[in-house]
Amino acid sequence: MAKHPLLKEVQDNILLEKYSKEFGTPLYIYYGYQIKENLQKINSALQSYFDQYQIYYAVKSNSNPNLLSFMHNYLPSMGADCSSPGELFAANKAGIPMESCVYTGNYESKKDLQSAYDSGCEINLDDSTSFQRLKKIGVPNYISFRLNPGIGKGRFSQIITGGKEAKFGIPKEKIIPIYESAKKDGVKLFGLQCHSGSAILDEDYFVKNTQLILNTARRIENKIEQNLSKISIGSGFGIPYSDDEDALDLNNVFCKISQVFEDFYGRDKSDWPILCIEPGRSIIGNTCILLAKVTGIKESYKNFIGLDAGMETFMRPALYSAEHRIYKLGTKHKIVDLPVDITGRICENTDRLAVNISFPRVVEGDLIAIMDAGAYGYAMSNQYNTRPRSAEILVNGDEYHLIRSRETIEDIFQNCSI
């Protein structure tokens, strides 16, 4: 059980008030020290148990190039996992070399595959038909395929990406012939990837998932008579979203994963394939406060606190019923027992940031902090109801700067000539 690492920023609210005056609200505020701490924890846990590993930051969780380059400057060995030409563009803009990137798409168009191929990044394919499309463009020296191990796990059913209902990956029963035919077509080196769910806090899941991947890897290796050079266990590394959840102990997780590697490949680590991971949430999730302002308070059949941030600004609660810690600035306020819903200004009844929570009394103009907004926050924001998207700032020590300016209404219509 732990308090949020950014709680001090909310309690000592002078700076947050200053940012709101300078940049307006809603505002995504990222803290550099927390990004560094997250990267350091992941990297040192991997370093303790693996000789050869590669971290590919999952750009889909947050693609701001300023954040990517901040991460890459701190940990130059960090690559990027990209799922679209736009994410490749962001990684490239941030100065991450394309050789340290992997493209994992799904149902990729020829154009998508062409961008990935031309960029020089590694390609991880979601299906045999993807390989048929890629072949017409070119046959890379190295390729990996995404496995659907038949099961998956996730904090919400919507973010489970393995198992019978998942649209991702190649069923374990069908994957071997795909490697055989890719080898015939001239691919020289192979990897195997699997990402079967997200936001998981259960250590044992990662052990089981690795076992399933290595079982399939062994069957592939026997059949193609060649060792796989890389194994990507995807991601899914969760973060606490409430005070009563504990953070994952990454040292334990990678220690246990290394034991699975030892069982399969023996004690000599130089015989192990390179372990790859694609973390997004665990790097950027808890580094960000979404700052919003109370715009209206209503006592209806329910009590509502309306903010200038809604489902268009931050979609996770409306989409998954995700719960985030939400604080009134300065905290130490008496909690009102009456349950409230926190909503935005969108004309849609699913527009909620919280449902039936106890909250301190607020007045119009009060500032509100929504925690853990760094992953899949700005990245999934949109312009519904023709609301321009937020600004983003990065705080690094005593310095802070705008890393994306607020969109304007004119920006929204810049492609509509009339």
Catalytic residues: 347
Distance, CA of 373 to CA of 307 (rounded, Å): 16
Distance, CA of 161 to CA of 185 (rounded, Å): 29
Instruction: Give the chain's length.
Output: 418
Nearer to ligand LLP, 13 or 130 (CB): 130
Using rule CB under 6 A, residue 130 touches ligand LLP: no
Site map 62..81 versus ligand LLP, x via CB under 6 A: -------------------x
| Count of residues interacting with ligand LLP (CB under 6 A) | 22
**Residue pointed to by tokens 């819903």:** 341
Return the beta strands (E) in 187-256 as ranges: 189-193, 230-232
Tokens of 10: 């909310």
8 A C-beta contact, residue 153 and residue 205:
yes
Residue 348 C-beta: closest distance to ligand LLP, Å: 18
Using rule CB under 6 A, residue 279 touches ligand LLP: yes
Q: In the range 132-161, which residues lie near ligand LLP by CB under 6 A?
A: 159, 161
Cα four-point dihedral sign 37, 40, 41, 42: positive
The set of residues, in sequence order, having a beta carbon less than 8 Å from that of 36 and lying 6+ positions away, is 74
How many CB atoms neighbour CB 29 within 10 A?
A: 25
Nearer to ligand LLP, 81 or 108 (CB): 81
Return the beta strands (E) in 201-360 as ranges: 230-232, 274-277, 288-299, 303-307, 326-328, 335-343, 352-360
Binding segment for ligand LLP (CB under 6 A), chosen from 127-135, 192-200, 347-355, 403-411, is 192-200
Using rule CB under 6 A, residue 234 touches ligand LLP: yes
Residue 234 C-beta: closest distance to ligand LLP, Å: 5
Site map 368..407 versus ligand LLP, x via CB under 6 A: -------xx-------------------------------
Site map 306..345 versus ligand LLP, x via CB under 6 A: ----------x-----------------------------
Residue 311 C-beta: closest distance to ligand LLP, Å: 13
Q: 3-class SS at 137?
A: coil
Distance, CA of 245 to CA of 212 (rounded, Å): 27
Using rule CB under 6 A, residue 196 touches ligand LLP: no
Contact residues for ligand LLP (CB under 6 A)?
58, 60-61, 81, 104, 159, 161, 195, 198-199, 234-237, 278-282, 316, 375-376
